[in-house]
Amino acid sequence: MTNLYTLLLGGALGLYTLGMATGFIYLFQPRPQKTLWCKRFIQAGALVHLAAFIERCILVQTLAVTNLHESLSFFALLLALAFLLVGRKTSIPTLGTFISPLLIIFTMWALIISHKITPQPPILKSFWLPLHVLLSFAGNAFLVLGCITSVMYLIQEHLIKKKKIKGIFRKLPALQKLDELSYLCLRCGFPLLTLGIISGSVWASFAWGSHWSWDPKETWSLITWLLFAALLHGRMNSGWRGRKASFLTIIGFAAIMFTFLGVNLMLSGLHSYAH
Amino acid sequence: MHIVILGLNHQTAPVATRERLAFTAEELPEVLTRLKNGAGLDEVMILSTCNRVELYGICSDLDSCRYRLIEFLADYHQIGADDFADNLYFYSDSEAIRHGFRVASSLDSMVVGEPQILGQLKDAFAIASDKSATGLILNRFLHRAFFIAKEVRTQTKIANCAVSVSFAAVELAKKIFGDLNDMKVMLIGAGEMCELAARHFINQGIAQVLVTNRTLSRAQQLADEFSGIALPFEIFHSHLDQVDIILSSTGAPDYLIHPQDLIKALKKRRNRPIFLIDIAVPRDINPKINELDNIYLYDVDDLQDVVTENLGQRHQEAKRAEELVLREVKKFEQWLASLAVTPTIKQLREEVLKISRQELQKTLAGFNDLNDKEKHRLEAMVNAIANKFLHHPINYLKSNTNDSETRPATTIREIFKLDKNDS
């Protein structure tokens, strides 16, 4: 059974890689293309990835986010799904090109490290765990997607300012569109992240008897949350947009990555994954 | 039978010559009739635009055809043939086919890839076919040409990028704002350049135009034309925050817009971007403003660079288009060859025999009690009728092949609809 799971996950990685290859060909080839292969490959990859995830959930009898391997894989899956969801609303052909490297990194990382099923301590067995993780991860997935859009914004903005009107300038979408999409991701991601933190706190009061214990993960979540709260406030009330908002989104991305991975790998605490 | 094109264009003739030989759309129908009868052509069409005058024809004798076409142009326009003979080109057969396809695909245009020529060619063809001046060959030739033009546009990037300064500005605006529907444009100065660019923006569906000029009446005039609003020149600075796109082309010796003007405007419009286009020389807008966030400034040189870059790309794409055209020329030549007499005879015979055999089968199916001998006799009768019926048309075709005159083949093909399957 584990073999099937690894096979599916590997298949997803292969499809994401094809997505990245076709995405970069699309970006740099001057010919217009009718079919967006990049998006199709990511779509197929996400489907296979979802199958792998379901398989794993059946295997571990709960939402498969109990260790680093599962978390990385699940996060990549959510990122792909968030991309496809956003892609239904606004069509940005090159977004897939920029998102695919992240999908590949996370999935590959998940594949490289140990797949061993970690037995859960009974204290963590609760329906709050899947809820808390799902909300936080989904929130982060949207925020990371917003960050990718911000990177694209900065590239396109640089090209327009420096008057380099050729090559990928033609393939990248309008600045306004990128800025709007980044804002949309923020508005989707931030409430989810907030709910994720709240649900975690509620669960903590059941499990450990305290809402908040200043464990490193909690502290860093708060820092991330405050950063995005500031950004959202700035966008809503102070007319932050464009470059400024993009830079902040990218700083936010760094905070997310540190909260998600750095804390677990470098600092120890209640949230650390059992290796 | 040959397909020929005689004409001149912007490369071979100065405008003074082109305008003397041009035809107006109104006079074309009559000209076509005169040309067809007078010059002894089987089919004719005239394409007359500001960049070219071309006569398309189908004829049987190249030399006399060329002579008669030149004579016709000279007679009609009352010019000595020597005055323009050097400016003319004359293409026949595969060269003519290639030229026609290149014209339609805008590979022969002054600005390669600009699509107007296709529309002009379609109009020219509509007039000619209305007058029944065109026939089987030119009809097919032009339909092929239209098809190829479409192929070139979709399969190459030849028309993808702007090659005029004003259109380059529109293209850039789209890359900044995406959709231009709700945008407001301010024109500073009411010059021709500004007007042209504004027209491009209006075609993109922008919401409103504000016009300001040192002479208010001129601003008002232009504003009326665009159903916009005229602003007195003294107060236009206070309206900078309300517009998304600013086009400036005044004759002012100094800068009219400075960074601090835009910092103020940006604050009021909560940093929504402003795109400024400075087509004035000397410039109207302090170039320092391009350093501000959410402000994009392009001057006339920047836009010209964009245009040059785009033109280079067009010429790259044109090479691909030429290959596509060459392939199509071959195909068309093959079709033309199939128009020659022998295949027509063969095809006609096959067609008639096919019909008679089909009808025979139908009839035989209704009889149950016929013996083989009776069946054979019926078959022989049907074949005899078919052959007797074919006798005269085939003789008619054969008797006219000596002078390479293929008109009879064309007629027969049309009468019997022999081309029904491959149009």
In this structure, the answer to whether residues B180 and B199 fall within a common structural domain is yes
**ipTM here:** 0.86
CATH code at B106? 3.30.460.30
For A234, nearest residue in chain B (alpha carbons): B270
Query: Catalytic residue at B50?
Result: yes
At B13-35, the pLDDT tens digits run 888 889 889 998 889 999 999 88
In this structure, the answer to whether residues B232 and B284 fall within a common structural domain is yes
Question: Quick check: A176 and B302 CB within 8 A?
Answer: no
Sheet holding B2-9, edge to edge: B43-48, B52-59, B2-9, B89-92
Percentage of chain B with pLDDT > 90? 40
Architecture of domain A1-116: Up-down Bundle (1.20)
**Which H or E run contains B387?**
helix B372-399
Please count the other Cβ atoms lying within 10 Å of the Cβ belonging to residue A118.
15
Closest partner CB to B273 (pick from A166, A240, A242): A242
In this structure, the answer to whether residues B171 and B290 fall within a common structural domain is yes
SS3 B249: coil
In this structure, the answer to whether residues B127 and B18 fall within a common structural domain is yes
Structure tokens belonging to residue A223? 């820092």
Domain final residue, candidates B155, B190, B212: B155
Backbone angles phi and psi of B53, in degrees to 5: -125, 120
Tell me, what's the pLDDT at B400? 60
Tell me, what's the pLDDT at A273? 56
Residue ranges of domains in chain A: 1-116, 125-275
For A160, nearest residue in chain B (alpha carbons): B296
Question: Which member of B50, B59, B65, B194 is catalytic?
Answer: B50
Distance between CA A48 and CA A199 in Å, rounded?
Answer: 29
In this structure, the answer to whether residues B206 and B229 fall within a common structural domain is yes
In this structure, the answer to whether residues B281 and B178 fall within a common structural domain is yes
Closest partner CB to A160 (pick from B175, B178, B305): B175
Tell me, what's the pLDDT at B423? 42
Question: Quick check: A244 and B293 CB within 8 A?
Answer: yes
CA distance A238 to chain B (A): 7
Backbone angles phi and psi of A195, in degrees to 5: -60, -35
By residue count, chain B amounts to 423
Tell me, what's the pLDDT at B403? 44
Asked whether the beta carbons of B25 and B12 are under 8 A apart, the reply is: no
Tell me, what's the pLDDT at A34? 67
The answer to whether the predicted template modeling score (pTM) of the entire model surpasses 0.80 is: no
Above 60 in pLDDT, residue B404? no
Domain range holding B176?
165-307
Closest partner CB to B178 (pick from A30, A31, A174): A174
* Selected residue with higher pLDDT from A132 and A30: A132
Q: Which of A30-44, A158-172, A220-234, B132-146 has the weakest average pLDDT? A: A30-44
Within 8 A of B270 by CB-CB distance, chain A residues are 238-239, 241
- Candidates A69, A49, A67; CA nearest to A7 is A49
Domain final residue, candidates B307, B331, B350: B307
Tell me, what's the pLDDT at A173? 92
For B270, nearest residue in chain A (alpha carbons): A239
At A103-145, the pLDDT tens digits run 999 999 999 988 888 777 776 677 888 899 899 999 999 999 9
Structure tokens belonging to residue B210? 């504000």
Which amino acid makes up residue A37? W
Mutating which of B153, B183, B271 best tests the A interface, going by the most A Cβ atoms within 10 A?
A: B271
Which residues, numbered 157 to 186 in chain B, qualify as contacts with chain A under a Cβ-Cβ cut-off of 8 Å? 157, 160-161, 172, 174-179
* Dihedral sign computed on CA atoms, order B72, B76, B78, B83: negative
- Candidates A137, A172, A148, A97; CA nearest to A250 is A148
